[in-house]
Amino acid sequence: MTNIVEIKNQGEFDQFIQTNPQAVVQLTNVPNGQPDPTLEAASNDITNVKFARVNVVELPAIAKPFNLNTYPTYVLYKNGDAWQVPLTDVTPEGLKAMAGVFSQ
Tell me the per-residue pLDDT of 4-55, one tens digit each, with 9 for 90 and over. 999 999 999 999 999 999 999 999 998 766 778 888 888 888 888 899 999 9
The answer to whether 77 touches 103, Cβ cutoff 8 Å, is no
The answer to whether 52 touches 25, Cβ cutoff 8 Å, is yes
**Per-residue pLDDT at 84:** 63
**Per-residue pLDDT at 100:** 66
Task: Report the number of distinct structural domains present in the chain.
Answer: 1
Question: CATH number, domain at 92?
Answer: 3.40.30.10
Angle at 10 between CA 47 and CA 101, to 5 degrees: 30
Return the top range by mean pLDDT from 1-10, 58-67, 95-104. 58-67
The domain of 26 spans: 4-102
**Per-residue pLDDT at 85:** 62
What is the pTM assigned to this prediction? 0.86
Would the pLDDT of 101 be above 70?
A: no
How far from the centroid of its chain's Cα atoms is residue 39's Cα? 8
Q: Kindly list the distances between the CA atom of residue 40 and the CA atoms of 16, 78, 90, 95, in Å, as whole numbers in the listed order.
A: 18, 20, 13, 10
Per residue in 72-98, pLDDT (tens digit) is: 888 889 889 887 666 766 777 777 777
Q: What number is the average pLDDT over the span 62-71?
A: 86
How many angstroms separate the CA atoms of 55 and 62, rounded? 9
How many angstroms separate the CA atoms of 32 and 39, rounded? 12
